[in-house]
Amino acid sequence: AQSVTQLGSHVSVSEGALVLLRCNYSSSVPPYLFWYVQYPNQGLQLLLKYTSAATLVKGINGFEAEFKKSETSFHLTKPSAHMSDAAEYFCAVSRGNYGQNFVFGPGTRLSVLP
């Protein structure tokens, strides 16, 4: 069974500082990996996805993530945090065919301090 872990349920950074949100997965087959963002009382919005093309994936709002097979990781980064980045971030892995097999991590709440 596939699973996703996100280290740190809550991360705080200062405005302008580097954002690093960690995601590790377990998968018996090459996975598809995703990062989503959720603002309070809203649905999830896709930030970026890895689907076995380039290992460094660029997404919206200046975020990017690097797929590292040897470390089974897909960490999310942004060079400079903005106040508007404060939200909940979810890493997800597709565990096979037919899309019903998405597995979401528990989420990391990002706070941005002025």
Partner 1 sequence: DGGITQSPKYLFRKEGQNVTLSCEQNLNHDAMYWYRQDPGQGLRLIYYSQIVNDFQKGDIAEGYSVSREKKESFPLTVTSAQKNPTAFYLCASTPGQGLGEQFFGPGTRLTVL
The CA radius of gyration of the chain, in Å to the nearest whole number, is 13
Name which of 29 and 56 has its Cβ closer to partner 1.
29
Q: Which is nearer to partner 1, 9 or 80 (CB)?
A: 9
Do you know the residue count of the chain?
Answer: 114
Query: What minimum distance in Å lies between the beta carbon of 76 and partner 1?
Result: 15
Q: Which residues bind partner 1 (CB under 8 A)?
A: 9, 32, 34, 36, 41-46, 49, 51, 90, 92, 94, 97-100, 102, 104-107
Dihedral pair phi/psi, residue 60, rounded to 5°: -85, 165
Dist CA 74 CA 110 (whole Å): 17
Cβ distance to partner 1 smaller for residue 62 or 104:
104
> Any bridge partners for residue 94, and if so which?
32, 102
The stretches of 27-109 forming alpha helices (DSSP H) are none
Q: Least distance (Å) from partner 1 to the CB of residue 104?
A: 4
Q: How far is the CB of 43 from partner 1 (least distance, A)?
A: 4
Tell how strand 73-78 and strand 19-21 pair up.
antiparallel
Q: Which is nearer to partner 1, 51 or 80 (CB)?
A: 51
